[in-house]
Structure 1
Amino acid sequence: MFASTTMNILKVHGYRLQPPISHLPHPTTPATYHKFMLSHVSSTSLILSSRPQYPISKTNTRVSEIGAPLWTQKDGQEDNAGSSEDLTMNGEVYQKTLRLVECAMFAALGGLAYILSSSLAIENYFGCFFALPIVFSSMRWDIVAGRKTMVATATLLLVLAGPIKALTYLLMHGFLGLTMGSLWRLKASWGVSVFVSAIVRAVGAMGYVVMYSFLIRENILALITINIHASATFILSSLGFLAIPSMDVIYAIFGTLLLLNCCFFVFLLHLLYALFFTRLGMKASLRLPKWFARAI
C-alpha cells in the first residue's frame, strides 16, 4: 500500500520512474556498455527536467547590506606607522619616556648623595651639589621636569630618612635649585637670578630655623638675635659709644647678614654650575655675563 501511495504522489507531481541500474540488463561488450551509460544519463536528465519549477520571489532574494569594516589593512598600517614614528629618537613617546627616566635617575642620585652626606657628617662640604640635579633637569628638559625631580627626591628622602630630612632638603636645597633652574631656563640675567635665588635661600633658612625651634622646643631665632645684640653692644662700647641698639636694628642687621650670606652662596653656585654646564656642551642654553664668557 505504501508503494502504491508513493507512486501516485510521484505521478501527480509529474515524475516518471525508471528502473534502477541493478535491475537493468548488464552489457557484455564495451560498445554495449557505452550505449547503456548514454541511455541512462539521458533518462536521468529527463527526470530532472520533468521536475516542477517553482518561481522564486525577488523579494526573498534580497541580501542584507553589509556595513564597512571597522578595521582595514590600511588603517592598521597607518597605526603601525604612527607607533613606529613615536618610538624613534624624536618621537613624542620616546622623549616623554626619556625625560621620566632621567628625572628618576637624577632624583635617586640627589637623594642618595644627601643621605650619605648627612650620615657621614660631610653635608657642609657637598652642600653646593645638592641642587645640581634639579637645575640640570630644568635646563635639559623644562621647568616641569625640574619640579618633578625635586618632588621625587623629597619623596625618596621621606621614605628612606623621614620627614625631617625631606623638609630640610626642600627648604635648603630643593626650592633653591628649582628657582635657579627656572630662571636659567627663562634666560634671566645673573643679577635677577642671584637676587631672587638668594631671597628663596634666605626664606628657606628661616623656615629651617623655625622647624628646628619647634622640634627642640626652643626659640632659636631669639637666641640668635640676643647674641647679635650682645655683639653689637660690645662693639659699640669698644668704640666709645654708649648707645644700645634697639631690637628693630638687630633684626635689620640679622636680615642683612643673612641675605648677604645667601647672595655669596648663590653667586658661587652660579659660577660652579655655569662652568659645569659649559663643559657639558650646554653653553648655548646659558645666558652668561660677558666677563665670565670671556674668562672661560
Structure 2
Amino acid sequence: MKIMNILQIHNLKPQFPCTFRTFPHHSLSGSLNFSLRKSTRLSSSSFLLLLVTPIRPTFKIFTVSRIEAPFFENNKEEEEEDEERNSATNLTEFEDLAPDGVVYQNTLRLVECSMFAAVTGLVYFLSNSLSIENYFGCFFSLPIVISSLRWGVAGGRKTMVATAMLLFVLSGPVKALTYLLTHGLVGFTMGSLWRMGANWGLSIFLCTIARATGAVGYVLTSSFLIRENILALITINIHASLTFIFAAAGINTVPSMNFIYSLFGILVVLNSGFFVFLLHLLYSVFLTRLGMKDSLRLPRWLEKAL
C-alpha cells in the first residue's frame, strides 16, 4: 500500500520501454530465451508479480536409442575359429597319415619288424621240429638284415629281440638262446655293418668273429645243460685223431694240448669265415633281386657279375 500511495502522490506511472517474455528453448541446456518488445507495457502490479514469481526453466528429455545387435556376432567368430582349428587338426592328421609322415613310418616299421619276427620264429620252430634246420639255416639271419637296411640298426635289433621272445614262448629258453647265438648275432652284425656302408672285408671279418663266438657259446651252453664238457671231448678226439695220423705217417711226435686248442680255434674261425662269405654272396644276390641294390655296397667284381 505504501508503494501504491507513493506512486499516487507523485502521479508517477512506471513505464517500461520493453517487456520480458519467456519462451522455452528446445535444447539440451534448458536455458531460457528472452525476447524484447518495445510496444508492450506492463503495470506496476504485474511488474511486481513478475519479480516475485520464480522462473522455472523447462527441459526436454531426450530418449536414448536402443542397443542394436552388431553386424558380426561373437558366435560367428567363435564358429569360424573352431572351423579353422578343426581344419588345422585334419591337415595334421592327413600329414601324419601320409607316406612321408612320422606316424605312418613308425607304424610301417613296427608292422614289418613284427612280420619278419613272426615268419622267422615260425620257420625256425618248424625246421627244428621236422629236423630240417640244416636246409634253412642260411635264411634265418636274412630278416634281421632286411630290417636293418630298411629301418636302421634299431629295426634290426627289434626284429632279433622279437624273434627270440617268440621262440622263448613257443620252444623255451634253450631254442631262443640257440637262435641268438647261431643266427641272431650274425644277422644283426651283418645288417648293422651294411647299413653303415662298411666294405666286405670288415663285414666278413666281424661277422666271422660273431659266428665263431656264437658257436663256442652254443657249445658251452649245451655242455652246461647236459652236464658234460663237450669242448673237452672235442679236443680229446682231435688229439687222438692227430696222434693216429702221425703214427701212421711215421712221425714219432705227440701233439700237445695247446696245439690242439689252437687248431680247434683255427678250424672254428675258418668254418665261420666260409659260412659268412657264402651268406654275403647269397644275401647280396637275393637283395639285388628285391630291388635293394642301392642300399648295398658290393665289391666291383660282384657288381659286374650282377
> TM-score, normalised to structure 1's length?
0.75
The residue number in structure 1 matching 2:170 is 160
Match of residue 260, structure 1, among 244, 267, 270: 270
Matched residues in 1 for 2:153 and 2:291: separation?
Answer: 20
| CA apart distance, 1:74 | 2.8
- Separation in 2, partners of 1:249, 1:210: 20
**How do residues 131-170 of structure 1 correspond to structure 2 at under 5 angstroms?**
131-170=141-180
Superimposed CA distance per residue, residues 239-274 of structure 1 (whole angstroms, 9 cap, x where no aligned partner): 222111111111100000000000000000000000
Match of 2:285 in 1: 275
**Deviation at residue 190 of structure 1 after TM alignment:** 0.7
Alignment match, 1:202: 212
Asked if residue 219 in structure 1 is aligned to residue 267 in structure 2, the reply is no
Equivalent residue, structure 1, for 2:296: 286
Q: 1:243 aligns with which of 228, 250, 253?
A: 253
Q: Which residue of 1 aligns with 2:125?
A: 115
Give 5+ residue unaligned stretches, structure 2.
1-77
Alignment partner of 2:98: what SS? coil
Percent identity of the aligned residues? 64
- AA partner of residue 172 (structure 1): T
- Equivalences, count: 229
Counterpart of 2:228 in 1: which secondary structure? Answer: coil
Q: Distance in 2 between matches of 1:191 and 1:240?
A: 41
Partner of 1:193: 203
| Stretch moving more, 125-134 or 71-80 | 71-80
Instruction: Identify the match of residue 84 of structure 2 among 65, 70, 74.
Output: 74
Q: Please identify the structure whose Cα radius of gyration is greater.
A: 2
Q: How far 1:173 sits from its partner (Å)?
A: 0.4
Q: Aligned AA for 1:184? A: W
Tell me by how many angstroms 1:284 deviates.
0.9
In terms of fraction of residues, the more helix-rich structure is: 1
Match of 1:91 among 88, 97, 101: 101
In the TM superposition, residue 72 of structure 1 has moved relative to its aligned partner by 4.3
Deviation, structure 1 residue 76 = 3.2
Q: TM-score, normalised by structure 2?
A: 0.73
| In structure 2, distance between residues paired with 1:75 and 1:253 | 73
Residue type of the alignment partner of 1:157:
L
- Give, in whole Å, the separation in 1 of the partners of 2:197 and 2:257: 40
* Counterpart amino acid of residue 293 in structure 1: E
Query: What residue identity is the alignment partner of 2:86?
Result: G
Kindly state the Cα deviation for residue 92 of structure 1 after the two structures are TM-superposed.
0.7
Aligned partner of 2:173: which letter?
P
Matches within 5 A, 1:27-106: 72-106=82-116
